[in-house]
Structure 1
C-alpha cells in the first residue's frame, strides 16, 4: 500500500466515518489509547445491556439486537481492549434473549418498525451459528467468563458436530469460534473440514474478478498469520489484494456492494470497509 493510498483512505475515514471508526483508526494507526473506542461504544449500549442504534448500520433500530452486540465485541477485539462491566452486561442480555440451548438470532421482529436494508428480514430471526458462534468466539478472545458463553459454546460444538453451514457468512462466524475457543484439540479436529466446504458455500467469492457481493479469502484470512491463510494459494491471495487495491475510489474510500437503508448507513459502511481495507493491505504489506 502506497503512502498516497493510506493518506487518502485516512482522510476519507476522518471526513465521513462515525466516531467509532475514527476512534478505531486512531487506536490502530496513530497510537491513541483504546479507551477512546470503549467511550465511543458506550453511546450504543442500552440500559438492558445490549447494543443498538445502528451499531451495525443496516438497520436503524434503537432496540438491542445480537448483531449489534457482535459488532461491539469485534470493535473491542480490534482495539485490543475490553471493558468488563460493558461486556458482562452484554452477556447478561444475550442470556435473557437466547433460546434455552444458548443459541441466539441475528435480530428480532422489532427492527421492522424502523428503516432497514431489504435483506434484513425474517431469516434473521432464527437462532443459529450466525451469530452464536461468532459471538462466542469473540467473547472467548476477550477472555470472558459468563454462564451464557458456557451454554452457547456447548451448543456450537453440538451444532458443528451435527452439520456445517452452507453459507459463507455463517462459516465466517464458525471460523472465529474455532480460532478462539479454548478447547484447541477439538477445534483443530473440526477445522480440517473447512477447505473442502468452501467451494460449495453460497456467498463465497473465490474469484477476485467477480464484482458481486460476497465473502472473500481476505475476509477469512485478513492477515498473513491468520490460521485460515493456509486454505488459500499465494496466487489467490495476491489476486484479491490486487483487487482490493484497485477498488479504492477517487475520494479515498472503498465502495460497498449492497444497498443500505439510508445515506448515513452508506457512509458508515464505507468507513467500515475503508478501515478494513487498509488494515488488510497493511497486514499483507501491500
Structure 2
C-alpha cells in the first residue's frame, strides 16, 4: 500500500480542508486530537450547532441537524465524549433547543437549505416534514444519551427517541444505507450502557448485522462506478462486528482501492450534482468541494 498511501497523502496535502488534513494527520502521522478539535470548532455556531459547509454538499452557514451530525461523527472518530468539552457542550445545547426538531425528529432537510448552494438531495420541498427518517435522528439521540446529563430535562426525551427509533427499526424492512449507519452509531454509542429499559440489545444487534450484510452490493463490478454500499461504508476495521462473514468482500475492496486510484492520488466520485436549477457539478477535493 506504500505507493497508494503516498499518492493519497500528496493529494490530501494539496487539496484538503484544514479540518480534513488535521484528521488525516491525527490518524496516520503525528497529529493531535487538539488540532482536530481546534479546526472543528471553527464550524460551530453560537447556538452549539454546526454549519458553514461542514457537510460538504450543503453550504449552509447556519446550524442544521445534518451538519451537527457530521460534527458528532468527528467527535466519535476522536473518542471525545466529555460533556464539559466546549464543542460537546454546545452540541448538547443545540440538540435540546428544539431547533429544527418536531415530533421527536431532527429534520435531515430544512427549508433554509434552499437559500444556499447544496446538492439536490438536500433540497427542501413543501413536504419536507413528511419525509423524515431516523437519519440523522437515531444517531443524534444516542449521542445525547451517551454524553448528556441525566439530570437535564431533555435527557428523558432523548431516551424516548432512542427507544422509538429501535422499535421502528425492529418492525421495519431493511432501511437504506445512510439510515443503517445511524443505527450503527446508536448501537456503538450505547453498547456499554444499560439500555434494557429502552430496548432489547441483542436482537437489535443481530438484525443490524444481517441488514448490513444484505445492504452491501454483491455485484462488485458496480463498486467505484455507482453509488452503492461497500464494506467500508459500515465498518472501520476487522474488529467490527460486521466483519465476520464478509471477509472476501473486505479483501476485494482493499484490492480495488489500490487498483482504482487515479494518478492524482484521488478516486473517481460516483455521484454528481444534477439539479439544473443550480447547474453545478461537484469535484471531490479531499473532503470539500470545488465549483
TM-score (norm 1): 0.82
* Consecutive unaligned residues in structure 2, runs of 5 or more: none
Q: Mark the structure with the bigger radius of gyration.
A: 2
The answer to whether the 8 A contact 1:130-1:169 is kept is yes
Q: Which residue in the other structure is 2:187 paired with? A: 178
Work out whether residues 209 and 242 of structure 2, in 8 Å CA contact, stay in contact via their aligned partners in 1: no
Work out the CA distance in 2 between the residues paired with 1:154 and 1:127: 17
Give, in angstroms, the shift of residue 13 of structure 1. 0.7
* Counterpart in the other structure of 2:157: 151
Counterpart pick for 2:175 among 159, 166, 174: 166
The answer to whether 1:192 aligns with 2:194 is no
Q: Which has the higher helix share?
A: 1
Instruction: Give the aligned length.
Output: 266
Distance 1:19 1:139, change over 3 A: farther
Deviation at 1:31, TM superposition (A): 2.1
Given that 1:91 and 1:148 are in contact with CA atoms closer than 8 Å, whether structure 2 keeps it comes out as no
Conservation of the 8 A alpha-carbon contact between 2:17 and 2:286: yes
C-alpha distance in structure 1 between counterparts of 2:155 and 2:271, whole Å: 32
State the match for 1:212 in structure 2.
226
- Cα RMSD (Å): 2.7
Q: Partners of 1:149 and 1:217 in 2: how far apart? A: 33
Unaligned runs of 5+ in 1: 272-286
**Cα 1:227/1:115, change in 2 over 3 Å:** same
Deviations 1:175-214 (A, max 9, x none): 111122123663222122234445765xx53332212102
Q: Deviations over 1:247-286 (max 9, x none)?
A: 2111112222112586787324379xxxxxxxxxxxxxxx
1:93 aligns with 2:108: no
More RCO (CA 8 Å, sep 6+)? 1
Q: TM-score, normalised by structure 2?
A: 0.80
- CA distance, structure 2, for counterparts of residue 140 and residue 40 of structure 1: 25
The question of 1:105 aligning with 2:107 is answered: yes
